[in-house]
Structure 1
Amino acid sequence: MATEKAAPTLIGSVQRALRLLEAVGLQGDGATAKQLARQAGLPLATTYHLLRTLTHEGYLRRVDGEYVLGEAVGSLGRNHQVSQGRDAIASALDRLRDELGAATYFATYRDGEIEVVDVSEAPGVPAVEEWADFRVTGNAHAVGQCLLGQLDREGRLDYLSRHRPQSLTRRTVTDSTVLLRRLDARHPARPVLEQQEYLPGVVCAAVPIMVGAALCTIGLSLPVAQAHRLSAAADRLAMRVGAVMDRLSFTI
């Protein structure tokens, strides 16, 4: 005996809410509850209930007695764009990792903090172990130094006032005056090189990039046994990163 395929379970209240959102979208400039009820084919009482819920959740806004689409509707598309952007960053990092034979990193400076967005590693090219929080040790690693180098002096002082330079290895620069002078002396377009300042046995580099108005960087790391490769790998990264990132369109 053939087994009939079960019909999907449909939730009526969700269907009605979606019809109501579609009706608001079609109106564009706004519509009253009565107009939306007629257009969506819903009882007025049900429409009022759904409108209150959708407004509370931010999917609708009530303006002068009429309803328009809310901010939460737009965020659905933005979240998709962000997801696509993160996927694009991951693919770019993987390509650079394979070309350079080094673990790669994408980071940005957001709301006064260093944020490592993504890391790409593989067997034989391990990423740096985050044994001290990357966000608060920007004085010690190449990614942090590169991002701080893109800030103006006021921005650097603000970061260092909140995250005092920490001594992580015997090579770490902890004197704020020395660190600021070092950042001032760097060429803004040149890679930042860091050798065992964050973690013994690891050398790193980072190059500055701009994604819209966001300050960002792409970095790489190598074991100290391959320190002789660092400068050339950093120069290669600087040459390649522009071509790789120019093909991307994403929101940070």
Structure 2
Amino acid sequence: MSGPQSVDRALALLDAVADAPGPLSAKALARQAGCSLSTAYHLLGPLTARGYLVRGPEGYGPGPRIPALHRSFRRHLDAGGGAVAALLTRTRRTTGAEAYFTAYRDGRIAVVDTTAPLTDLGNPWRPGLETRAHATAHGKVLLASLPRAARRRYLAAHGMARLTEHTITDEERFEAEVAGVRRRGVAVSVGESDPAHTCLAVPLPGRPDQALSVSLPLADFRRRGDEVGSLLARAAAAFPTLPE
């Protein structure tokens, strides 16, 4: 096999490994990628040799090359040379809530970095591609910055799945929601993507494709949501704007 189909299947194998809770066998990967076992082995070989995957006694897992890709992604988005990491740390300290840096690029939204430990499997917004943007505060902020045509294309491509009873799944209602986000300058998602958590988000100054957000348990939000929102806005306002 050669050409785009081979590349697409190799990436499907990487996606399957990334999304799995633990190592996957070659047979399981072939099934998920929709290819034969021999094809899977043909693709797994170079992926392993180049460090994108590792093979252990229980199957294949992410390799040592993966963290370098994430560091490169963060570096390309952080024109301030470490300013984002400092911003997240400062936001976590002042708000007492886990902080997140999210970005929109080429029709996709991704959580780029967070103060939440990677080992915290209960954290509802871990780094990676965001597939629930319509139901998250950071997603609302980033989608609110787009022209309506671009926003409609995004929602058509990614859908508006009902994740909880509070999720907005109607496009016109979502339009009203993002109009409110633009007026207020802050977005809130109360149990829309995760029933036990609330997230608040604001755009970074001069960077409409980047957002700063925090998450906190629902009970905590009800007690001090206004305070956290003010602290979040203050933290974002102090972030350096991009040079003209």
* Counterpart for residue 173 of structure 2: 178
Q: Which residue of 2 aligns with 1:222?
A: 216
1:130 to partner: Cα distance:
4.0
Alpha-carbon shift at residue 206 of structure 1 (Å): 0.1
Tell me the equivalent position of 1:231.
Answer: 226
Is the 1:204–1:219 contact (alpha carbons within 8 Å) kept by the matching residues of 2? yes
Supply the distance in 2 between the matched residues of 1:148 and 1:158 (Cα, whole angstroms): 11
Matches within 5 A, 1:58-137: 82=76, 85=80, 87-121=82-116, 128-130=123-125, 135-137=130-132
Change (3 A) 1:211 1:103: same
Question: Which residue of structure 2 aligns with residue 167 of structure 1?
Answer: 162
CA contact (8 A) 1:169 1:198 kept: yes
Counterpart contact for 1:108–1:117, Cα < 8 Å: yes
Q: Which residue of 2 aligns with 1:56?
A: none
3-state SS of paired residue (2:87): helix
**Aligned partner letter, 1:110:** R
Given the superposition, is the C-alpha separation of residues 226 and 190 from structure 1 closer, same or farther in structure 2, using an over 3 Å criterion? same
For residues 58-95 of structure 1, the C-alpha deviation after alignment (integer angstroms, 9 at most, x for no partner) is xxxxxxxxxxxxxxxxxxxx999647846321121011
Q: Percent identity?
A: 29
Gap change, CA 1:164 and 1:98, over 3 Å in 2: same
Counterpart-to-counterpart distance in 1, 2:167 and 2:114: 23
**Where do residues 232-247 of structure 1 align in structure 2 (5 Å cutoff)?**
232-243=227-238, 245-246=239-240
Q: Please list every run of 5 or more consecutive structure 2 residues that lacks an aligned counterpart in the other structure.
A: 1-71
What's the C-alpha RMSD, in Å, of the aligned pairs? 3.1
What 5-or-longer segments of structure 1 have no aligned partner? 1-77
Give 1:152 shift.
1.3
> In structure 2, how many angstroms separate the alpha carbons of the residues matched to 1:91 and 1:126?
23
1:118-157 Cα deviation digits (max 9, x unpaired) = 11136xx9973248x7522111011101111111111111
1:230 is displaced (CA, Å) by 1.6
Q: CA deviation at 1:196?
A: 0.5
TM-score by structure 2 length? 0.60
Shift of the 147–188 alpha-carbon distance from structure 1 to 2, 3 Å rule, reads farther
TM-score by length of 1: 0.58
**In structure 2, the residue corresponding to 1:241 is in which secondary structure?**
helix
User: Retained in 2: the 8 A contact 1:142–1:193?
Assistant: yes
- Counterpart Cα distance in 2 of 1:81 and 1:111: 17
Query: Is the 2:94–2:231 Cα contact (8 Å) retained in structure 1?
Result: no
Change beyond 3 A, Cα 1:151–1:188: farther
Structure 2 counterpart of 1:142, one-letter code: A
Structure with higher Rg: it is 1
- Cα 1:93–1:211 change in 2 (3 A) is same
Q: 1:220 to 1:126 in 2, by over 3 A?
A: farther
1:189–1:208: 8 Å Cα contact kept in structure 2? no
Give secondary structure in 2 for the equivalent of 1:109.
Answer: strand
> In structure 2, which of residues 203, 212, 216 is the aligned counterpart of residue 208 of structure 1?
203
Q: Distance in 2 between matches of 1:195 and 1:201?
A: 9
